[in-house]
Structure 1
Amino acid sequence: MSREATSMSGFWRTQLTTFAVLFAGYASYTYNRKSVSFALPNLMKNGLLDKSAAGTISSSQNTAYAISKFLGGVLSDKISAKWLFFSGLVLSGGATVLFSTSSSLTMFAALWFLNGFAQGAGWPACAKLLKKWFSPEQFGTFWSALSASSNVSGSLCPFLATSIIAQFDWRASLLVSGGVTLTSAICVALMLRDSPIEAGFNKDFSQEATKKKTDGKSTAHRLTWKNLIQSPFLWLVSAVYLVVFAAKTSVTEWGQLYLIEDLGHSAFTGSGFISAVETGGFFGGIAAGYVTDWLKKKWGKKTPGNPRMFAAIWFMAGVAGFLFVLTTFVTTYTSQFFLTVIGFGLGACLYACIAIYGIVASESYPSHLSGTAHAVVALAANVGAILSGLPCSYVAQLYNWRAIFIVLEVLAAAAALFLIVFRKVTPGLPEDKPKSQ
């Protein structure tokens, strides 16, 4: 075997190792982030929290997450993505362990705010590392595959958490979650490298992409964040990302409570529904990356706008459709099978949209601004997550949990129409404008 072939073989193995560490690390982030959500029915049943207090805890985390995910995106353009990823795991794991020893609402909210702040380091670091380690032709597929780590975690962890709570208590469940996250941090420190160059390979796909964009007379390398915030495409993506993230967070945070409190289903039925959402999200996210990579190769230069957004229209309409079924046809007597089908379809559409919006935000702008671009749309997404916390729990307190999903159903349908109307919008940065001769 030639030296070049040996080098390529070693690079491919290192790529896979990098992906595996990121996959396990981000799955740990998700397990940690949702650990209190899994415990909420038990906490409310025991009288430790009411609906308003549960919303306060959720919003405290989501508020911090919104702030830190924006900061994390900006920081990922400035500092080591590996150590950003590591730091978030350590802080979020530590906050969860401390939460398991607390009892007051003030401490619960403060610690979950800290957890949310630490969580914001996770995906921006992943996005930056993916761009360095994988070529533009692989980017959409590996982005979606890595996003699926959240769904794998979300599918398995409701059952794990419910079993631990049933066998021991909610404190033990959070202690396990914190321990898993801290263990993942150790693996990241030992096994992850910031770039192929740091690992000894003469490759850096993010630099190659930048070189392609800056060939000839392109001005991409001179663009600043001021040019970025003037891009209409960025605000289009931000608007629809806010809606879909509000829907996703509400479904995963309040879906089981809707089934348990409004409709009288068991805790395991509620956990099964959430698991189905995450399982559907796994397949939907991967399908979105693969299909939109194909659309971009086939139609990327033939149609105005980003061709990935055409797929987003259909997935967004699917979100509205499955929410309609959930609020209209699900009753106390609905079978577990039917609930699983609804959860699977809803999760597939939700996570497909999330994957597409994240990909287009990162790939549509030069490498030195890709983290910031993703940070802007992620900030909008997390505003949606904040709205799904205390405001939604207040709506549930005034009416019921079903009312939340009716509102989200209408918003999702409106977002799909919004995408149809503005489907031809482009990033609109200076390098896209024709130059005078």
Structure 2
Amino acid sequence: MTRLGTWQIVMFSTMFVGYTLYYYNRKSFSFIMPYVIEEDNFDKPTLGAITSSIYMSYTLSKFAGGIMSDKVNASRMFPFGLLGVGLLVVAFTLCTSLKMMVVVWFVQGLFQGMGWPACGKLLKKWFPPSKLGIYWSLLSTSMNIAGGAGPVVAALLSSSYGWRTALQASGLVAIVVSFLSFVILKESPSEVGIETAFTHHKKKKDTSEPTSVIDVVRTPFLWVLIMYCLLNIFMANAISDWGQLYLIQELNYSPTTGGVFVSAFQIGAVIGSIVAGYVTDKQVNKQGLRDAGSARFPFLLVTILALLFSLHCFNSLVSSESNLLFICVLSFIMGFCAFGHQSLNGVLVIEHSTPVMSGTAHAFFSLGGGVGAVLAGYPLSIVAKHFNWYTSLIIVEGAVILHLLIMLSTWNISTAIGKRRIKSE
């Protein structure tokens, strides 16, 4: 293995472990919530106030973190954020009043926003376009692993030692890994004396001027990807959150079946993310980065068509007498397509942005996901309250159709993000 290959593995492994801890600590209070109720008798409004505080601050900090990653050293930003997360999780366990708990958890969310933008910058600098998709997708699965194993780990620790000790353990591990990240992570291959032959724009001689935030915001392709992200997060959250309630409350399936539905969706999400990155990297390696359209678009089209088909089958064919295997297969396909699609959306933003503004572009892109998550929550629950969950899922199906129409109408759009062109001599 070459020296560059060794460093790439070290860099990726460090980011993977670090971001798994980022995500675990962001969701840690949700994981130990049953034990908080049992030990401290917190009521629902109290629990809601704490959990809502971190989502509010995380949405803001992820946007700010994207812009910040273009201004500061990403290899320092990542461990600094993780250190702050760990310290604040430990501090949270020492709080004795609700007000202090809400404040500390809110501030923790501000540090959470430093993680993923820094990962995006480091991946872009350490991996060529032909490998960016697969490594981005693999790194994305850290969230699925933390989300899947987190409740089990938290339950074991909380039942044996109490919820405060369980949180302290996750915070301390984050602190230790943050110090290791400070030592291991490097901003670029040149920092360790490695000169790479690859570039992230295999095109004609660059005739671009220095770019600004205004140049990024004016880019049509960025707004197309923002719409992709908004609609995709809306669809994914709605299916995973409300699909099981549709089965339980309207089709009279057991909570166990609802849980199996969610598990199949998450398994599909992990496999879909990895397959999407691997397959489309092969296409980029063959065709390079295009000025119009992308070599990743055909796979995106296939996944959106498969998502539309599987969701339509779920809405129209699943009944109270349907086979569980059939339901799980549909859930797996929906998870595979939704998360494979979303993973590629993030790759497209990073690989088609100018190197100095990729973090800023991803910050605006992430806002679309935040809006989609909000729309999939309270608004759809209001629709279900006045009508039913089936009506909410029909709206989701309409969103998939809208996504498909936008994709087809922008198939050959210019893909340059934040690049101001000047005439060559």
TM range (shorter): 0.7 to 0.9
The aligned runs of 1:355-374 (5 Å cut-off) are 355-374=343-362
Query: What's the CA shift for 1:203?
Result: 2.6
SS of the residue corresponding to residue 262 of structure 2 reads helix
Correspondence for 1:242: 230
Instruction: Please report the RMSD computed on the Cα atoms of aligned residues, expressed in angstroms.
Output: 3.8
- Tell me, in whole angstroms, the C-alpha distance in 2 between the residues paired with 1:42 and 1:408: 34
Distance in 1 (alpha carbons) for counterparts of 2:319 and 2:164 = 32
The total of aligned residue pairs comes to: 424
d(CA) in 2 for partners of 1:253, 1:39: 19
Distance 1:33 1:302, change over 3 A: closer
Match of 1:280 among 242, 254, 268: 268
Cα distance in 2 for residues equivalent to 1:263 and 1:48: 32
Give deviations 1:353-410, integer Å, cap 9, x for gaps.
Answer: 1111111111112211111111111121122223344445555565666655443332
> Is the partner of 1:197 in helix, strand or coil?
helix
Residue in 2 aligned with 1:346? 334
Task: Give me the whole-angstrom Cα distance separating, in 1, the residues matched to 2:100 and 2:116.
Answer: 26
Q: What residue is the counterpart of 1:90 in the other structure? A: 83
- Distance, in Å, in 1 between the alignment partners of 2:83 and 2:242 is 27
Aligned pairs for 1:158-197 (under 5 A) are: 158-161=151-154, 174-197=167-190
CA displacement at 1:47 relative to structure 2 = 8.2
**Aligned counterpart, 2:27:** 34
Change (3 A) 1:434 1:114: closer
Deviates more, 1:260-269 or 1:140-149: 260-269
- What is the match of residue 202 of structure 1? 194
How far apart, in 1, do the equivalents of 2:410 and 2:370 lie?
23
Q: 1:93 to 1:291 in 2, by over 3 A?
A: same
Is 1:415 equivalent to 2:403 in the alignment?
yes
Query: What CA deviation, in whole Å up to 9, does each residue of 1:104-140 have, x standing for no partner?
Result: 7766654443343222211110111111211232222
Matched letter for residue 61 of structure 1: I
The change in CA–CA distance for 1:257 and 1:80 in structure 2 (over 3 A counts) is: farther
Matched with 2:4 is: 11
In structure 2, do the counterparts of structure 1 residues 55 and 361 end up closer, same or farther at CA, with 3 Å as the change threshold? farther
Q: Quick one: which amino acid aligns to residue 309 of structure 1?
A: F
Shift of 1:17: 1.1
| 1:288-327 map, 5 Å | 288-300=276-288, 304-327=292-315
Matches within 5 A, 1:87-236: 87-98=80-91, 110-161=103-154, 174-198=167-191, 200-203=192-195, 208-209=199-200, 216=205, 218-236=206-224
126-135 vs 386-395, greater mean Cα deviation: 386-395
TM-superposed CA distance for 1:175, in Å, is 4.7
**What is the DSSP-based 3-state SS (H/G/I as helix, E as strand, rest coil) of the residue aligned with 2:190?**
coil
**2:371 is aligned with what amino acid?**
V
Question: d(CA) in 2 for partners of 1:268 and 1:388?
Answer: 23
d(CA) in 2 for partners of 1:91, 1:330: 46
My pick for the range that moved more, 168-177 or 417-426, is: 168-177
Provide the rounded CA distance (Å) in 2 between the counterparts of 1:115 and 1:334.
44
Using the aligned pairs only, state the percent identity. 34
Classify the secondary structure of the residue corresponding to 1:307.
Answer: coil
Partner of 1:63: 56
Q: How far apart, CA to CA, are the structure 2 residues paired with 1:424 and 1:370?
A: 21
How many Å separate the matches in 1 of 2:99 and 2:57?
15
Checking the alignment, whether the CA contact within 8 Å between 2:216 and 2:419 is kept in structure 1 is no
Q: Deviations over 1:281-329 (max 9, x none)?
A: 2211111112222233445578941231232222233334444445555
Question: Using a 3 Å threshold, how does the CA distance of structure 1 residues 261 and 26 change in structure 2: closer, same or farther?
Answer: farther
Q: Is the Cα contact below 8 Å between 1:149 and 1:282 reproduced in 2?
A: no
Cα distance in 2 between the residues matched to 1:60 and 1:376: 21
Q: Is the 8 A contact 2:158 2:165 kept in 1?
A: yes
Aligned mates of 1:150, 1:240 — CA distance in 2: 20
- Out of 59, 68, 73, the position equivalent to 1:75 is 68
